[in-house]
Structure 1
Amino acid sequence: MRTSVRRILGSIAVTTVAVLLGACGTSAISKSADPSMVAGMPATDGPSGLRSNAPKPSRTVTNTDGGAIDLLAVQSVSDVEDYWSGGVYRDAFKRNFTPVAKLISWDSRRSSDAVSFCGETTSSLVNAAYCPVDRSIGWDRGALLPSLKKTYGDMAVTMVLAHEYGHSVQHQAGLNSPNTPVLVAEQQADCFAGAYMNWVAQGHSRRFTLSTGNGLNTLLASMIAFRDPLMSGRRAVSGGGEHGSAFERISAFQFGFAEGPGTCMAIDVDEVTRRRGDLPVELQRNQTGNWPVSQASVKSVIAAMNILFKPATRPTLSFDTVAATKCPDAKATPPVSFCPATNTIAVDLPALKQLGAPTDGPAGLTGDNTAYSVLISRYLLSVQQQAGLPVDSANAGLRTACLTGVATTKLALQVSTSDGNTVALTAGDLDEAVAGLLTNGLAAGDVNGLTAPAGFARIDAFRTGVLGDQDVCLKRFP
């Protein structure tokens, strides 16, 4: 017997289509999230980065080479200080704002350029950080910041420094005790950076622009690159150097972007523990975290969905890609399509294998659950159709993403299927789903593949399902 064990989030009671129908009919419906909006702003593409007419920086930097990277960095710090000093800090913490004391630059590639930063030599120090000892912010202009700018653009550099400035805000506001876990402090800083980026996106910055479409998508992609690597034997909340998965860090960023800095103060040990639930943060012994896509694995995932949702009529699974193009009431959406007229899920297996192939590069993290989350999303279109819900709009796409998050969470139950497999999810699978939502977006697509234009909205919908339940999805995306 071949057993494929893949584990993810906490234990949630199994629900059926009948419950889904009941929730739709009896729950109070809140205002729908608009798929064309991001935190109250239209999702639009446009320029992102340093303005050509930006004013001169308000700060100077020690040990600078006077180059373009240091200019971008000091402009970033100057802009972040404009945000916090403009009343935001005072409104949030009821006290006056104090800027950081100094800025330090170095080139990690050159030992001759090495200086002391926070008691450490900067030789080979590829990093950016806030030092509470002397209230300074420092960065590597030789390797780190140029790499970020080349791969993700100006705003990735600004994002890193906004995050580091978030640590300064924590320090002067006295938010955390000395024994606060690094994980908590890092996600607070991600949240503060998100609040600042909303201010930029709204057009308040004199120095930078950020579009809510392609610009914000690229910024989120950079956060995927900042995730913690998969580890073994690490406690869920510890005093070590843990920063968080891409899913967690993007979630914290979205909290700040959507709700402002006040919500960041609520991120503490208890909040992180509740948000994680039983979410795995490490691979268990003998786990690889990868279940290669195959005809057998696809059948097992669909079998697990049948067990979890118990639909009155199970959708038919087909590997006939030609038949998918002949569906009378929906377009094909390879690598997985759903046809409402025949209640059929059609899988283009070679294309799904390609989507689920493990990669880890500048475009972001993908892997097996990038593919399986798309497969699950098409199954949930069948569930929604049987529940009498529309499946052919961008709003339906976001509802599908939300319910895919719910279904993903349910797989913590490690569903045993009749073919001898145990279908569950490992640490890292949420990150792979997020990467797919940001790039191809099909897991947040309606029956015709129509999806919200902003990756931010797709990820937000998926996260809503992961951290909530089907009632929340139906209220937000009726």
Structure 2
Amino acid sequence: MSRRQRGVPVTVRALAPGPLLITILATLVVAGCAHVIQGRPVSVFADPFRVAGMPATDGPSGLRSDAAPPTRNVTNTDDGDIDELARQAISDVEQFWSSTYPSTFPGKFRPVRDLLSWDARDFANVGFCGDITFTFVNAGYCHDDRTIGWDRGILLPALRRAYGDMGVVMTLAHEYGHSVQFQSGLLSKDSPTLVAEQQADCMSGAYMRWVAEGNSPRFTLSTSDGLNNVLAAVISFRDPVLNEGDPTAGMDEHGSAFERVSAFQFGFTEGAEACRSIDLREIDQRRGPLPMVLPEYATGELPVSERSVRDIVEALETAFTPADPPGLLFEPVECPDARPSPPVSYCPATNTITVDLPGLEALAARTDDGDAVSLATGDNVAYSVLMSRYMQAIQREHGGVALDDAKAALRTACLTGVATTRLAEETPTPTGTTVMLTAGDIDEAVSGILTNGLAASDVNGESVPSGFARIDAFRVGVLGDEERCFKRFS
């Protein structure tokens, strides 16, 4: 987020593939949990008990105790648990594509030629796609020899610790997607990395749907916590946020967390056929006005304070011009028709937003970017919650809708997406301040919606169980408007 007053700016807030090597960028995150709404299903779109048409289910996720034996061998394996998991993952993904490819793409499906494992901490002279693997903490697909390789020493164990077995499986399903791209003709050596990565995200989503439907003989995936953890793993491979002056800005892009999760969800919801539609034009439409790089020397972080909260609320008033703007308080008060949802609460009876500044500041805290399990943290994890409470006031003024049920939770997520897009443009306030989102802010919002759910909750702070549904609703708003949110989540 950025704030400018009287012309003075105050800022808030891929590994590049080799010639024929496509890799996945690793910055790991951990998913948390949200409160769960109890109640009845609400509609085909806003049903908290369904995920992309499937029941939202609890249950185990990961390698089955009675898993079918693997069909592939691994070169340079240490015969440990991680390589066995990877071996099973590739075997399973191949079984999916063996049945899916013929009905989706032209020609005959060809399995990858070889699988290679290495330990990035090992000085051993192991080569992958023309490079040595010492310090290569990654996984990749090599087009030259049609090989998939991975680091068993650092990357895959970290993924497994953070997200369980399915974090590893998702990563390798993504890499296998690159093989499918080349053999189907969707991708060539000259294709942009951005398109290649998001098509592969989509293909991993199509495979994960197959697993979630119970078709896999090796893995299970629950559509609640299991799928939430997979989405967190997808978010972890987002591009780093760069400044305009950075010489690598705009080069070899893989995509923001918002973009990569969107691509994954397309595949999960619509199947492998949907991956055909991802190209530069489609990605550009999804980006719209959202900023992709920070101004030079900017951090993209606006420290939480009473002044910053007032500035953002005033900017929202400018953007939405409600006839009865909500009041703003910084001390707790009794609300007769809603429970508190700290650190920001909305009371419909009094039309007031109450902010717990220390709590909001804690929500905005950034973790060390060098942390092996860092997530997309920062100011907009907090400010997106503030926006969501303002959008509950917009719902109250709209009338005709409940504010305390599952529909309201997803409608709030959707309208928070609308507010996010509005504030991506410079928004003046009555006090002479200009507020604008910066690069990285939308990823922080997406991470918060997945991990704590507050920006996708009802007036009592209750969220639906599916992080997939929460993010999907948010995207509807980012790409739409208020009318679309009210119609879809009615």
- On whether the aligned pair clears a TM of 0.5, the verdict is yes
Q: Offset of 1:94 from its aligned partner?
A: 3.5
Of the three residues 440, 446, 458, the one matched with 1:434 is: 446
Aligned to 2:363: 355
SS at 2:115 equivalent: strand
Q: Offset of 1:3 from its aligned partner?
A: 4.5
Of the three residues 240, 249, 259, the one matched with 1:229 is: 240
CA RMSD, Structure 1 to Structure 2 (Å)? 1.9
Q: Offset of 1:216 from its aligned partner?
A: 1.1
Q: Does 2:253 match 1:242? A: yes
Aligned residues: 451
SS at 1:423 equivalent: strand
Which amino acid counterpart does residue 342 of structure 2 have in structure 1?
A: P
Identity in percent: 60
Judged with a 3 Å threshold, the aligned counterparts in structure 2 of structure 1 residues 52 and 136 are, in CA distance, closer, same or farther, namely same
Q: Offset of 1:174 from its aligned partner?
A: 0.9
CA contact (8 A) 2:106 2:184 kept: no
Aligned to 2:266: 255
Of the three residues 309, 328, 343, the one matched with 1:335 is: 343
CA contact (8 A) 1:5 1:422 kept: no
Which sits farther off after the overlay, 37-46 or 164-173? 37-46
CA contact (8 A) 2:12 2:379 kept: no
Aligned to 2:102: 90
Q: Offset of 1:414 from its aligned partner?
A: 1.1
CA contact (8 A) 2:174 2:201 kept: yes
Aligned to 1:106: 118
Q: 1:284-363 counterparts in 2 under 5 A?
A: 284-321=295-332, 323=333, 326-359=334-367, 360=369, 361=371, 362=373
Which amino acid counterpart does residue 279 of structure 1 have in structure 2?
A: L
Q: Offset of 1:150 from its aligned partner?
A: 1.7
Partners in 1 of 2:483 and 2:290 — Cα distance?
A: 21
SS at 1:282 equivalent: coil
Aligned to 1:39: 52
Q: 1:107-256 counterparts in 2 under 5 A?
A: 107-112=119-124, 114-233=125-244, 240-256=251-267
Which sits farther off after the overlay, 71-80 or 411-420? 411-420
SS at 1:329 equivalent: coil
Structure 2 gaps, min length 5: 14-42
More helix by share: 1
Which sits farther off after the overlay, 154-163 or 275-284? 275-284
Which amino acid counterpart does residue 271 of structure 2 have in structure 1?
A: G
Which amino acid counterpart does residue 303 of structure 1 have in structure 2?
A: E
Aligned to 2:93: 80
TM-score (norm 1): 0.91
CA contact (8 A) 1:73 1:157 kept: yes
Q: Offset of 1:215 from its aligned partner?
A: 0.9
Of the three residues 452, 455, 461, the one matched with 1:449 is: 461
Partners in 2 of 1:231 and 1:313 — Cα distance?
A: 39
Partners in 2 of 1:384 and 1:144 — Cα distance?
A: 44
Q: Offset of 1:417 from its aligned partner?
A: 1.5
Q: Offset of 1:378 from its aligned partner?
A: 0.6
Q: Offset of 1:161 from its aligned partner?
A: 0.4
Aligned to 1:22: none
Judged with a 3 Å threshold, the aligned counterparts in structure 2 of structure 1 residues 103 and 32 are, in CA distance, closer, same or farther, namely closer
Judged with a 3 Å threshold, the aligned counterparts in structure 2 of structure 1 residues 234 and 85 are, in CA distance, closer, same or farther, namely farther
SS at 1:396 equivalent: helix
Aligned to 1:377: 388
Q: Offset of 1:51 from its aligned partner?
A: 0.7
CA contact (8 A) 1:31 1:475 kept: no
SS at 1:165 equivalent: helix
Q: Does 2:486 match 1:474? A: yes
Aligned to 1:11: none
Which amino acid counterpart does residue 230 of structure 1 have in structure 2?
A: V
CA contact (8 A) 1:216 1:456 kept: yes
Which amino acid counterpart does residue 52 of structure 1 have in structure 2?
A: S
Q: Offset of 1:238 from its aligned partner?
A: 9.1
CA contact (8 A) 1:49 1:209 kept: yes
CA contact (8 A) 1:32 1:475 kept: no
Which amino acid counterpart does residue 237 of structure 2 have in structure 1?
A: F
Q: Does 2:292 match 1:276? A: no
Q: Deviations over 1:226-265 (max 9, x none)?
A: 1111112389x99832111111111111111111111111
Q: Offset of 1:146 from its aligned partner?
A: 1.3
Q: Offset of 1:84 from its aligned partner?
A: 0.6
- Where do 4+ consecutive residues of structure 1 move more than 4 Å? none
Which sits farther off after the overlay, 343-352 or 43-52? 43-52
Q: Offset of 1:154 from its aligned partner?
A: 0.7
Q: 1:40-59 counterparts in 2 under 5 A?
A: 40-59=53-72
Partners in 1 of 2:329 and 2:157 — Cα distance?
A: 48
Partners in 1 of 2:83 and 2:392 — Cα distance?
A: 50
CA contact (8 A) 1:292 1:368 kept: yes
Partners in 1 of 2:366 and 2:434 — Cα distance?
A: 21
Aligned to 1:24: none
Aligned to 1:23: none
Q: Does 2:475 match 1:458? A: no
Q: Offset of 1:220 from its aligned partner?
A: 1.4
Q: Offset of 1:365 from its aligned partner?
A: 1.9
Judged with a 3 Å threshold, the aligned counterparts in structure 2 of structure 1 residues 59 and 234 are, in CA distance, closer, same or farther, namely farther
CA contact (8 A) 1:163 1:193 kept: yes
CA contact (8 A) 2:102 2:109 kept: yes
TM-score (norm 2): 0.89
Which amino acid counterpart does residue 100 of structure 1 have in structure 2?
A: V
CA contact (8 A) 1:373 1:433 kept: yes
